[in-house]
Amino acid sequence: MHDDLKKKAIGRVEFLLALVHVAVLRYVTTKKVPDVSEALLTLLTRDLAPLLNPRVFCSPSAWRSRCLYVEAVDKALRTVQSQPPLLPPTFAPPGTARDGLATCARGLPPDQPTQH
């Protein structure tokens, strides 16, 4: 990216904040809607959605099925899952954050008790 474009770029948080500000100015201060959340929803659905390509509105499940639930990803995850946990249980007692990571690596939810 050119240096002059870097100076003009904004981050994700700044972009989302800008959307909230526009929604507030357009809908809350004019009393068209009563609160910020409804104003943001109105801005996104009424003002921005018609300008976007309809393909951006696919469901998250459709995206997951197409991009995540495929054989290549399954193979990569199984490779990681077959590796030893990050820390042996003696160094990661049950209930610690590192034990949660090891539990997730074994395919169990972090809040499910494990047998050590």
The residue segments making up the domain with residue 24 are 3-54
* One domain for residues 7 and 48: yes
Has this prediction a pTM greater than 0.85?
no
- Are residues 49 and 7 part of one domain? yes
- Give residues with Cβ within 8 angstroms of 32, minimum separation 6: 26, 39, 42
CB atoms within 10 A of CB 83: 8
Distance CA 83, CA 93 (A): 19
The token pair that represents 105 in the structure block? 């690596």
Q: 16 and 48, same structural domain?
A: yes
pLDDT of the residue at 102: 46
Question: What per-residue confidence (pLDDT) applies to 63?
Answer: 79
Q: pLDDT 10s digit of each residue in the chain, 116 long? A: 567 777 788 899 999 999 999 999 999 999 999 999 999 999 999 999 999 988 777 787 887 888 888 888 888 888 877 776 665 555 555 555 444 444 444 444 444 444 44
Give a yes or no: residue 60 inside a domain: no
Across 39-78, where does the E strand assignment appear?
none
Q: Is there a domain that residue 66 lies in?
A: no
4: tokens are 């002059």
Which H/E stretch holds residue 76? helix 71-81
Residue 112 lies in a domain: no
The number of distinct structural domains making up the chain is: 2
Burial label, 79 (beta-carbon count in 10 A; 0-12, 13-18, 19+) = exposed
